[in-house]
Amino acid sequence: MTGFDQVVNGFAIALSWQGLLYCFIGCLWGTVVGVLPGLGPLAGMTLLLPLTFHQPPEIGIIMLTGIFYGAMYGGSTTSILVRIPGEAASRGGRAGPALMVAAVGSFVGGTVSIVGLMLITPPLAKVMIAIGPSVQVVLLLLALSVIAVVSAGSRLKTTIMMVLGLLLTAIGLDHLDGVPRLTFGNTTLAGGLSFTSLAIGLFGISEILINLEKTELIKAIQPKFRDLIPRMKDVRDAAPAIGRASVIGFIFGIIPGVSHVVSTFVSYAVEKRFSRHPEEFGHGAIAGVAGPETANNAVTGTAMIPLLALGIPSIPATALLLSALTIHGVQPGPLLLTDHPEVFWSLVASMYIGNVILLILNLPLVGIFVNLLRIPYSWLVPIILIVSVIGVYSVAFSAADIWLMVISGGAGYVLRKFGYEMAPLLLAFVLGDRLEENLRLALTMSGGSYATFADHASLIVLTSVLGLLLAVQALAWVFGYRKSVADEAEGA
């Protein structure tokens, strides 16, 4: 099958009734979990994970990815109608146009990032296909280092969370020797800890427990469709902001850990700097909404590049996609495009379709989604928890996974209260297996020489990726991103 045939085949899958249906379900559910406080893409994806078990991998991944970017759209709706980080368009009486601008910006940003995903992933995968275990180790260590460096919270706490994640992934059978490790003689632990249970516990359950403490009433504006139409001045202000933010989101999407949060803050700072009326920022400036919301959605496609080309998830949501693909017997990474081109191309095609679906869903139907905010949170809690329990149990049909979810939820609640971030732990947990396997493999292949990690190919990869990341990080600092964004990074 030629490259063109693969693209056509991908679009045919995405446009089949199954592809369209699951893309729609993903986008709809994503919007719902994005709108509802206390849920996010990760919890949303985990809850519907069992729905993919009886579907081909390409259909399952279309739905899960739909939830991922749908939640970004839904989050924009809530942030505009309830509150906006750093912005107050709703208070300025401009919630309707802000919503329209955010939806269009999200569409443009999302589309730009999909084009990037489509153009960058195949050649990158081709380069990566030739790399050996030593370069993989360098890349994985680099990804973990970047997470530690860009983390907004305490670096020491981030590092200990990562080390803990790596330690937890060592529980179970050793992949190379088949020896049970850190199991305390318990046969249930021999299979290792379930990623899904850990993810739902650390993110979903802890978030619910934290939200239960909040007693303030949530007030949301409910605009009518005609309120959404922006004025000519809004369009003039928003258009360049959307363009700039698409590029910012696209570039920052590659940073592991907190890409969407960094891109949002950088975009806001950039727009404020470019604005002729920076004093309006914080009082309903439309560019202050267009920029961050566009950037927030522009990272979605780029965040998929490390996952699909390298097999390295950069944020917890893509870590769940990796886990889901693995359950289906598909290994993301350089070989994905060779072994399962239909998964990649149908995903790309579905993202284009999903962006259109979301634009349609989020504008005329915004009133319906806002109504979700009327449901008392105390009624949502049992529903979310029941579905979480069933979702977690159904992965391996083991009550031990429910235990893990509950315990990690309690631990996550306490740790988050004291400023520990959960994303580094989870990403390290996902990457740990491969890191150890490749480290030991590389050392075995080189006869125990650590010089293998400093060979020509490793150094090229190390230098180029490090240079790129340093440049991106420097940009972020120049534009004033330095603020505790740990809480906002959670759940993404």
Partner 1 sequence: MSGDADNPAPAGGNAGQVWFRAIGVRHGEIWIAAVLAAAGLVFGWQALLLDFGTLALPGPGFIPLVLSLATIALGGIIGVREWLRADSGETVELGHRDVLIVFAAMLAVPLLFEPLGAYVTLGLFGAVLLVLVARSSLVIAVVSAVAAMAACWYFFQVALGLQLPVGDVLERIVR
Q: Which stretch binds partner 1 (CB under 8 A): 15-23, 99-107, 323-331, 413-421?
A: 413-421
List the interface residues with partner 1, window 302-331 (CB under 8 A). none
Q: Which stretch binds partner 1 (CB under 8 A): 19-27, 123-131, 242-250, 415-423?
A: 415-423
Q: What are the angstrom distances between the C-alpha of 470 and each of 139, 420, 473, 485?
A: 15, 24, 5, 20
Token digits for 358?
Answer: 């979301």
Q: Which stretch binds partner 1 (CB under 8 A): 205-213, 268-276, 334-342, 472-480?
A: 205-213
Instruction: Spell out a b/e string for 193-221, using b for 16 or more CB atoms within 10 Å of the CB, else e.
Output: bbbbbbbbbbbbbbbbbbeeeeeeeeebb
* Rounded Cα–Cα distance for residues 401 and 223 (Å): 43
Asked if 275 interacts with partner 1 (CB under 8 A), we say no
Kindly state the smallest distance separating residue 73's Cβ from partner 1, in Å.
18
Asked if 247 interacts with partner 1 (CB under 8 A), we say no
CA 50 to chain centre: 19
Q: Which stretch binds partner 1 (CB under 8 A): 281-289, 290-298, 325-333, 403-411?
A: 403-411
Amino acid at 339: D
Q: Kindly report the backbone phi and psi dihedral angles of residue 3, in degrees, each rounded to the nearest multiple of 5, phi listed first.
A: -60, -40
CB nearer partner 1, residue 444 or residue 484: 444
Asked if 25 interacts with partner 1 (CB under 8 A), we say no
List the interface residues with partner 1, window 37-56 (CB under 8 A). 37-38, 50-51, 53-54
List the interface residues with partner 1, window 338-377 (CB under 8 A). 370-371, 373-377
CA 467 to chain centre: 23
Q: Which stretch binds partner 1 (CB under 8 A): 58-66, 120-128, 206-214, 283-291?
A: 206-214
Instruction: Kindly calculate the radius of gyration of the chain based on its CA atoms and give it in whole angstroms.
Output: 22
Asked if 224 interacts with partner 1 (CB under 8 A), we say yes
Which of 68, 413, 429, 481 contacts partner 1 by CB under 8 A? 413
CB nearer partner 1, residue 255 or residue 415: 415
Count of residues of this chain found to bind partner 1 when the rule CB under 8 A is applied: 85
Kindly state the smallest distance separating residue 403's Cβ from partner 1, in Å.
5
Q: Where are the beta strands (DSSP E) in 256-397?
A: none
Q: Which stretch binds partner 1 (CB under 8 A): 59-67, 142-150, 251-259, 387-395?
A: 387-395
From the list 233, 214, 212, 191, the residue with the least C-alpha distance to 97 is 233
Asked if 21 interacts with partner 1 (CB under 8 A), we say no
- How many Å from the N-terminal Cα to the C-terminal Cα in the chain? 36
CA 69 to chain centre: 8
Question: Per-residue x/- mask for partner 1, residues 154 to 193, rule CB under 8 A?
Answer: --xx-xx--xx-xx--x---x-xx-x-xxxx---------
* Rounded Cα–Cα distance for residues 113 and 320 (Å): 20
* Rounded Cα–Cα distance for residues 184 and 109 (Å): 49
CB nearer partner 1, residue 167 or residue 356: 167
CB nearer partner 1, residue 252 or residue 369: 369
List the interface residues with partner 1, window 76-105 (CB under 8 A). 95-96
What burial class does residue 471 get, using C-beta atoms within 10 Å of its C-beta: 0-12 exposed, 13-18 middle, 19+ buried?
exposed
Token look-up 């990032």 returns 113
Asked if 445 interacts with partner 1 (CB under 8 A), we say no
Q: Are 483 and 33 in contact (CB under 8 A)?
A: no
Which of 282, 394, 457, 488 contacts partner 1 by CB under 8 A? 394
